[in-house]
Amino acid sequence: MTIHSVYEPVFRPYGRVLEGYETDELLKAMEAIPLPGEGVAYEPGIGSLEACGIFADFRDRAYGGMPIQIGMCWGHNTKLNCLEYHRDSEVNLGTGDFILLLAKQEEIENGMLDTEKVKAFRVPKGVPVEIYATTLHYAPCHTCPVCGFRVAVVLPKGTNTEKPAFEPACEEDRRMTARNKWLLAHPDSAEAKSGAVIGLRGLNLDIKEEL
């Protein structure tokens, strides 16, 4: 699998690199949070990250003054497993280089997405990237098996918290697994085994050999 850079033209349909943000304080706050022993951890909002000066910058500049949260996804991962999307863009920023596995929402056909559509993008340390609302994404992948990854996740306030209670009326409704989160699971994933809707077909991509 080819791993592209977010600075290549092929990234343009999926997102963009954000400029003019001072990230040092946030990176230090992220580095103070220990990595899990294995697997991946995620918290939608973390107080020590939201206390950083960049919070107001992301809120006012990246999200136009809308309420936001800064959480983190961190740990060790090289596999696709699932893809998700939101109704809004997501901003990511890593303490080291990390890789995103991405596809486009419009590539979903009859409720399924072929994993051959997925592309890999390397994001450099400290570079904030906006992932568009129509871009399918999930847990980042590390570039260093020992170091793992720490990636800030900036989203509208309340995203990825408790799922709203309603009776599903269409196929998309059944994909919702949390607030503002729609998920397509690979059959081999733990999420599918826990009841998430299967929406990926093909190989459960693993970039371990490309690192």
Phi, psi of 185 (to 5 degrees): -100, 145
- At residue 173, the pLDDT reads 98
Handedness of CA 143, 148, 150, 156 (dihedral sign): positive
Residue whose C-alpha is closest to residue 131's, from 157, 93, 98, 97: 93
**C-beta of residue 100 within 8 angstroms of C-beta of residue 205:** no
- At residue 93, the pLDDT reads 98
| CATH architecture observed for domain 3-79+89-158 | Sandwich (2.60)
pTM of model > 0.85: yes
Residues 87 and 175: their CA atoms lie apart, in Å, by: 13
Q: For residue 56, which amino acid is it?
A: A
How do the pLDDT tens digits run along the chain, 211 residues long?
999 999 999 999 999 999 999 999 999 999 999 999 999 999 999 999 999 999 999 999 999 999 999 999 999 999 999 999 999 999 999 999 999 999 999 999 999 999 999 999 999 999 999 999 999 999 999 999 999 999 999 999 999 999 999 999 999 999 999 999 999 999 999 999 999 999 999 999 999 999 8
- At residue 71, the pLDDT reads 98
**C-beta of residue 195 within 8 angstroms of C-beta of residue 100:** no
> Domain coordinates of the chain in residue numbers?
3-79+89-158
